[in-house]
A and B are shown apart, each in its own frame.
Chain A
Amino acid sequence: MRIGIPRGLLYYEYFPLWKCFFEELSAEVIVSGPTTKRILDRGVQTAVDEACLPVKVFYGHAAELGDCVDFLFVPRVVSVEPRAYTCPKFLGLPDMLRASMVLPRLLSPTVNMRRNRRQLLAAVRQVAAELGAGPVKTWRAWRRAVAAYRRFKEFLRQGYGFEDAVSLALGQNRHLARQAPPARDLTVAVLGHPYLVYDQLVGMNLIQRLRSEGVRVLTADSFTPAEIEAKVRNLPKALFWTYEKQVLGAALACLDRNVDGIIQYVSFGCGPDSMIGELIQRWVRRKRDIPFTLLTVDEHTGQAGILTRVEAFLDMVARKKARSA
């Protein structure tokens, strides 16, 4: 049995979990290749104009997998923690896809932990049942998958790149060297949705580029959940978007760590980011004078323009640091 996973959106959040789970259930996992111009174009053609860039990219990947798999895995992730939601577009993702293109059978469990964490297990059982797995096998697969996911998050926290963290977590590559320590004493946080910053095409390899310039790079994944929670606890109102909470909490946590500059990387037209981006800018400005820049990308954004802005930002951060030293 071949299960297709489009390389987009929550792939960047949960891939090791999904892969490990399906393989333990003896299914074959097929992932679409890294985003290319062609995949993006395909997505742009099939999605409505107003959809945000990551959704278009996801469409492209789903189309790409099209007929070479038995199932396409597109979960409906409504909520991953009590009293919170994900983005409305994740709530409607399978329906949007189904209305826009011909698809293989969808494997589309609903994950909604808003009122009850245990609902997740029901979703897991539902998927396993559809693949014809018994309860014992399912349970074992799930335990292993969760362990892989924890390892993955831990590797990300330690500063491994996305691809390395995936292969380390899945035990495919035991001897990956840690990143070489940065050459310069400069730390920059790149904050944004993992499906933007970790994607090779739309993320413009920003993280690797900065690292190769000798900069120490933090992402929203560099902070422990406890650190994030501590930062968002005192918000005027609890933020009901889980993934944005991660970004906002990370931005606030940057104020405590030795971070010299913050880059927020967002998609044009992203709903949640338009709100928290505003809060981050205002709060960062009020609390501490850290250089901050907002990079907005869509399918027309040229790489050169963004990279020039990043260069300029980096110069500014370095100069400011030198001055204050």
Chain B
Amino acid sequence: MKVTFPHMGYLWIPVSALLRKLGLDVVVPPPITRRTLSLGVQHAPEFACFPLKLNLGNFMEAYERGADTIIMAGGVGPCRFGYYAQVQQEILWDLGYKMKMVVLEPPKGHWWGLWKRIRWLIGERSVRDLWRALGFAWHKFVALDAIERAACWARPRAAAPRDVRRAVETAVRWVHEAETADQVREAREEGVSLVRSHAVRSLRDPLKVGIVGEIYTLLEPFANYRLEEKLGALGVEVDRSLYLSDWIRAHVVLDALRVSGEHEVKQAAQPYAPHFVGGHGQDTVGRTVLYARHGFDGVIQVMPFTCMPEIVAQSILPRVAHDYGIAVLTLIVDEHSADAGIQTRLEAFVDLLRRRRSKKKHDAVARAQAGK
């Protein structure tokens, strides 16, 4: 048995660490490229969401490298993600790809069934081994998030954006290669300082932009056309609202315990979106409110074309933007998006933010003078 799983940002690092610790033979799908995308697009339904297509491409490329078993997360709706695995399975089946799909969700609501699937995967390993492996993977999640956060801070301050990208690659490789929890900690500390060391310019008050939206497009740089790097190169300090460990917390831990996400975010969304709408739609609204309250210059919502919860949020955001006077840009991505087009829109948005800043400063000066 050779197991594989879909890509989502650096998810592959902790997940492959977890599976290897459990003694499984892992095939990490090759990094997402145009080829991955075109495989997915060719065989997935035309109007399926973007992540489904990229997942499918990952599976097909992993199959070429010998994978025969897919580990996939599931869901209970109302979002499409909960049915991804079943649709992908049908497609692979019809293509003659003999791959077994193991969906980590309680089948028909029975936890026992989920446990049986896990048991089947881990074979003779004990529950303690499983627990240890999970703990180890968790350290990697935390380390990767710290490195990505450092990168957001360093990019606008670097001499060349390329430097930060290279530093991140190195730091991430250290985390990947770490074999023990201590090594992971070390990799994190050294990685973060390596990334931060490229911040050579001091910025007193950089433009700040929060990024909200659908989780896959937030976390996977291929899917968001390297949004964070583009903004960093434009001198913007980015705050991303969701990291991998947040996803684990929300989808694995909290979902299992049946408690809903962060209270503060839900509270902030309350006047505009008082009810859960699937996916991260309500969070998108709540986090936009929070960014506005924390004095950010702008917010960018990223989402795949036809993403339902984010369309709900997108419909509501203009009202938030109006009430709080914050600039919001919605970036919709799919296989038809073009890098140059996104670059142009980001440049225009950053220009707008700069103008708004200087107007604010100007107004403040004028007010002070009038007061005298």
Q: Which of B20-28, B189-197, B217-225, B272-280 contacts A (4 or more CB under 8 A)?
A: B272-280
Q: Which residues of B from 297 to 353 have beta carbons under 8 Å from A?
A: 305-309, 311-319, 332
Q: Which A residues are CB-close (under 8 A) to B89?
A: 236
* Cross-chain contact B78 with A91 (CB below 8 angstroms): yes
Within residues 196 to 250 of chain A, which ones have a CB less than 8 A from any CB in chain B? 235-241
Query: How far is it, in angstroms, between the C-alpha of A106 and the C-alpha of B231 when the chains are bound?
Result: 41
0/1 string, A77-92, CB within 8 A of B gives 1 = 0100001111111011
Q: Which residues of B contact A98 (CB under 8 A)?
A: 319
User: 0/1 per residue, B49-88, Cβ < 8 Å to A?
Assistant: 1000000000000000000000000101111101101110
Interface string of A268-290 (1 = CB under 8 A from B): 11111111011100100000000
Taking the complex as formed, is A130 at the interface, i.e. its CB lies under 8 A from any CB of chain B? no
Chain A: minimal CB distance from B72 (Å) = 12
- Report which residue of B46, B83, B107 has the largest number of chain A beta carbons within 10 angstroms of its beta carbon: B83
The reply to whether B306 and A241 contact each other, CB–CB distance below 8 Å, is no
Distance (Å) between the CB of A199 and the closest chain B CB?
Answer: 20
Closest to B313 in A: A92
A51 at the interface (CB under 8 A from B): yes
Please state if A110 and B275 are interface contacts (CB–CB under 8 Å). yes
CB pair A76–B87 under 8 Å, yes or no, is no
Neighbour of A91 across the interface among B277, B307, B332, CB < 8 A: B277
Question: In chain B between 264 and 286, which residues have their CB closer than 8 angstroms to a CB of chain A?
Answer: 272-279, 281
Q: State whether the Cβ of B120 lies closer than 8 Å to any Cβ in chain A.
A: no
For chain B, the count of residues having a C-beta within 8 Å of the partner chain is: 48
Among candidates B91, B108, B315, residue contacting A47 with C-beta atoms closer than 8 Å: B315
- B90 interface hit (Cβ, 8 Å): yes
Q: Does B45 contact A (CB under 8 A)?
A: yes
Contact B315 A275 (CB under 8 A): no
Cβ of A183 under 8 Å from chain B? no
Q: Is B109 an interface residue (CB 8 A)?
A: yes
A256 at the interface (CB under 8 A from B): no
Whether B275 lies near A272 (C-beta < 8 A) is: no
Q: CB distance A92 to B275 under 8 Å?
A: yes
Mostly, the A contact residues are mixed
Most chain A beta-carbon contacts within 10 A, residue among B276, B307, B312, B314:
B312
B77 pairs with A241, CB closer than 8 A? yes
Please, how many angstroms separate the alpha-carbon atoms of A273 and B48 in the complex? 9
One digit per residue, 1 when the CB lies within 8 angstroms of any chain B CB and 0 when it does not, for chain A 37-69 equals: 000000000011011000000000000000000
Q: Is B109's CB under 8 angstroms from A83's CB?
A: yes
Q: Is A100 an interface residue (CB 8 A)?
A: yes
How far apart sit A270 and B308, CA to CA, in the bound complex (Å)? 8
> Is the CB of B47 closer than 8 A to any CB of chain A?
yes
Write the nearest CB–CB distance from B100 to chain A, whole angstroms. Answer: 13
- Across the interface, A88 reaches (CB within 8 A) one of B86, B87, B107, B308, namely B308
18 pairs from A and B in contact (CB 8 Å cutoff): A48-B314, A50-B314, A50-B332, A51-B315, A76-B275, A87-B78, A89-B311, A95-B275, A100-B319, A235-B86, A236-B86, A237-B85, A237-B86, A241-B77, A269-B47, A271-B80, A275-B48, A275-B80
Binding site for B on A (CB under 8 A): 47-48, 50-51, 76, 78, 83-89, 91-92, 95-96, 98-100, 110, 235-241, 268-275, 277-279, 282, 296
> Which are the 4 A-B pairs with shortest beta-carbon distances?
A240-B77, A85-B78, A92-B312, A274-B47
Known A-B contacts: A85-B278, A270-B306, A279-B90. Give 6 more (CB < 8 A). A88-B308, A92-B309, A100-B315, A275-B80, A275-B87, A282-B91
